[in-house]
Amino acid sequence: MWKKIKKIIYLIVLANILFIVWGKFFNPPITITQIGGLFEFGKLKRDYVSYAEMGDNVKKAVIAAEDQTFFDHNGFDYKAIEKAVKHNNAGKKLRGGSTISQQTAKNIFLWQGRSWIRKGLEAVYTFIIELIWGKDVILERYLNSIEMGRGVFGVEAASEYYFNKHSKDLTKSEAAWIATILPNPKKYDPKNPSAYLNKKHSWIMRQMNNVSLK
């Protein structure tokens, strides 16, 4: 019995290793979150594009909005995590401290939610993809897989859905609008923004001036 269990464990570990290595060269065929969106909204709008085909504006906008130290950290922003813990312990609305690398690990390999098991696995995957994939691949996978609307995934599909153009052709303002709806794209709509979204959009536009794509 124990030999069978060990064999199953070895096979799971091997499959994960192969999937991680494979993921350095290819986008995921589908993710758990995308399957969830398909069942929830009855559609799956997705169009994977290469890092170069995304254009710089949307990269800068999302980094400005989500993780301005992306190119400097090792997958974890400890200052952001500390701030999030203090904020949450104060009884305020829950705030995350996840980096783009952590979100990529979650979106590609895991599921949504706040369980400790998922967070632990997320940390392991984050550490590994930082070592094996590198920053450009992580950012490409993130921008291709992230949820950006109801059944809409990735910056290319979002660009076509909201602005009827390719992501590489987005203006600075349009790219900032796509980043503005994160992290709640099911609720927010850049075509019908609230006062809060307008304020956030202006902030992202300013922050984009400080983002450098290394």
Tell me, what's the pLDDT at 84? 61
* 213 occurs within a structural domain: no
* 170 occurs within a structural domain: yes
* 30 occurs within a structural domain: yes
Pairing of strands 152-153, 147-149: antiparallel
The stretch 20-43 carries a mean pLDDT of 91
* 214 occurs within a structural domain: no
- CATH code for position 192: 1.10.3810.10
* 193 occurs within a structural domain: yes
Tell me, what's the pLDDT at 117? 87
pLDDT digits (tens, 9 = 90+) for 79-137: 776 776 665 555 555 455 789 999 999 999 988 877 888 889 999 999 999 999 999 99
One-letter identity of residue 193: P
* 167 occurs within a structural domain: yes
| Segments forming the whole domain that contains residue 7 | 2-208
Strand locations in the chain (E)? 45-46, 147-149, 152-153
pLDDT digits (tens, 9 = 90+) for 134-187: 999 999 999 999 999 999 999 999 999 999 999 999 999 999 999 999 888 888
* 46 occurs within a structural domain: yes
pLDDT digits (tens, 9 = 90+) for 167-181: 999 999 999 999 999
CA-to-CA distance for 147 and 214, rounded, in angstroms? 25
Number of domains observed in the structure of the chain: 1
